[in-house]
Structure formats: C-alpha cells, structure tokens
C-alpha cells in the first residue's frame, strides 16, 4: 500500500520542492493551498508525472472549518494519512519595525504559521493514533517546516520570528506526546531559500551570500529542503524524534 502525505502550502515554493521529492519517493499526495484549483493545475501535472495519485485540498489552515474540510477531503479520497508536512506559512504583508508593527499583522501571521498549524497537527495526530492502535504495521510521522528565524532575530518582522519560535516548541511538545505511539515529529529549519517569499529581497541576499553569509556560498533551493524531508519520511532517522534539521548552508554556524 502506498503511503499518503499531506503537504500544506504544497503547490509552490518550499512546499512544492517537498512534494516533488515525495512524489519521486513513491508517495501519494494531498496538496493544500489557498489558490483556486485552476492556478495549481501545472503543479499537480508535474507531480502526477511520477505515476502517483495527487489531489488538491484547497483551504486556509487558519480557519477551523477549513482545516476540517481539508482532512475530510483527504480521508474521503485516501482513507488514511501517513505523513503531515506543516509547510504553509506567510510573511507579514509589510515589514515593519517591532516598535511600529500592527496587532492586525501579528494576528494574521500567528493564525496561519502557528495557531493553524498547531491545531491541524492536533487533529491529524489524533487520527494517526487511532490508525496506529488498529494496525500495528501503520507508520506515520509529522514534520514542521520552521525557519532560521526561530532563533535569529529580525526586528522588522517580529511576528514571523515569534511564529516560527512557537512552532519549534510545538515540535517538541508533539514529539513528547506522540512518543508512546512511535509517531516521530521533526522540525526542519530552512535558511535563505529561493522562493516567492524571498524574491523581494533577492538583491539583498545575493550581496550577503557573496560576502560570506553562508558557509556554502549559494542560495538554498526548495529541493534542498525536499531532500531532507524525504530522508525523514523514509525513516532514515528512526531514533531522532523531536530534533531539528538545519537546511541553511551553514548560515547559523557561529563563526569568528
């Protein structure tokens, strides 16, 4: 039986890089996003080229009713879910210093990046426990895509940093809670990855990378994150639940 993975924010950027790697590793996929289905047809076509089954589950994970609908679509089509990749995330609409940032921006970013992810994970975890109790051969795992911003301060997007720091603690909490059921939970922290989200600051990071920002002097690509995810879902790290995998080209290594 083929395993099924749900990837939030999976139709572009890092999420699509993850989806490509899982498709190549034989997974059937449920791709979540907020765009209309017509806007993700090309992405879905590229994923089904691997010979797997792919469905699109439109919905905003910041909404409780839409989270429920996403999971309903997955269950109606596949019956069960083996892997949850919490990748969906947004940046502030406007980068503003923390002394000036708005409460509205804080609420919007936290609702998607942290609250929505937290409660989607709660729902999926409970379903995974049921499947595990019914079938001893059932295998599952959860992976949270956070960011180097979980520990590196950017004072012009504080709400984003706080959301990712909270997601890091959520990883540990769920890893501890699900340990008794042998359902591992991991966190991946990407560094500077070439996506739509970073397109607006490309010139800035081109210069910083050239000046030695990263040990490996290049941008990260979505496939770099995807390959790390693929290793985790294959079970290549069977005794490492709750751990952080850095995919940042050495950016966060302390250097003098």
Q: pTM for this one?
A: 0.96
163: left (phi over 0), alpha (psi -120 to 50) or beta: alpha
Average pLDDT score over residue span 55-70 = 98
Q: Strands (DSSP E) along 62-148, which ranges? A: 83-86, 141-145
97: left (phi over 0), alpha (psi -120 to 50) or beta: beta
Q: In the numeric block, which tokens belong to residue 174?
A: 């769920």
Average pLDDT score over residue span 200-216 = 93
Quote the crossing angle between the two packed helices 158-178 and 103-110, to the nearest 10°: 30
**pLDDT score for 228:** 98
pLDDT of 28 > 80? The answer is yes
Q: Give residue-wise pLDDT tens across range 77-135.
A: 999 999 999 999 999 999 999 999 999 999 999 999 999 999 999 999 999 999 999 99
- What share of the chain in percent tops pLDDT 70? 100
**pLDDT score for 254:** 95
Q: What is the mean pLDDT of the chain?
A: 97
Q: In the numeric block, which tokens belong to residue 177?
A: 């809670």
**pLDDT score for 199:** 83
Average pLDDT score over residue span 47-75 = 98
Residues marked active site are found at: 160
Q: Give residue-wise pLDDT tens across range 151-160.
A: 999 999 999 9
In the chain, what are the domain boundaries?
A: 4-247
Cβ-Cβ contacts under 8 Å for 196 (sequence gap 6 or more): 12, 13
Q: Are 186 and 232 in contact (CB under 8 A)?
A: yes
Please state, in angstroms and rounded to a whole number, the distance separating the CA atoms of residues 48 and 11.
Answer: 13
Torsion angle (degrees, nearest 10) of CA 209, 211, 212, 218: 30
pLDDT-derived band at 198, boundaries 50, 70, 90: confident
pLDDT of 1 > 80? The answer is no
CATH topology (fold) of 4-247: Rossmann fold (3.40.50)
Please state, in angstroms and rounded to a whole number, the distance separating the CA atoms of residues 80 and 138.
Answer: 10
**pLDDT score for 71:** 98
**pLDDT score for 222:** 98
Quote the crossing angle between the two packed helices 13-24 and 41-48, to the nearest 10°: 20
In what side-by-side order are the strands of the sheet with 83-86? 54-58, 28-33, 4-7, 83-86, 141-145, 185-190, 244-247
**pLDDT score for 201:** 84
């Amino acid at each position: 039986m083929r395993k099924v993975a749900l990837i939030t924010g999976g139709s572009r950027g890092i999420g699509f890089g993850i989806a490509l790697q899982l498709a190549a590793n034989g997974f059937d996929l449920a791709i979540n996003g907020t765009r209309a289905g017509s806007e993700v047809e090309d992405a879905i076509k590229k994923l089904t080229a691997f010979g797997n089954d792919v469905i699109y589950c439109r919905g905003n994970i910041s909404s409780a009713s839409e989270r429920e609908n996403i999971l309903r679509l997955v269950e109606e089509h596949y019956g069960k879910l083996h892997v949850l990749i919490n990748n969906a995330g947004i940046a502030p609409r406007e980068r503003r210093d923390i002394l000036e940032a708005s409460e509205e921006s804080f609420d919007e970013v936290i609702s998607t990046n942290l609250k929505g992810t937290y409660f989607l994970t709660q729902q999926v975890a409970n379903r995974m426990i049921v499947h595990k109790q019914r079938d001893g051969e059932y295998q599952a795992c959860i992976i949270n895509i956070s960011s180097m911003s979980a520990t590196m301060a950017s004072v012009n997007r504080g709400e984003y940093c706080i959301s990712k720091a909270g997601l890091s603690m959520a990883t540990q909490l769920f890893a501890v809670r699900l340990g008794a059921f042998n359902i591992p939970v991991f966190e991946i922290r990407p560094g500077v990855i070439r996506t739509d989200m970073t397109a607006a600051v490309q010139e800035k990071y081109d210069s910083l990378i050239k000046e030695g920002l990263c040990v490996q002097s290049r941008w990260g690509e979505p496939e770099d994150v995807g390959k790390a995810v693929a290793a985790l879902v294959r079970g290549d790290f069977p005794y490492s639940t709750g751990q952080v995998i850095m995919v940042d080209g050495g950016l966060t290594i302390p250097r003098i």
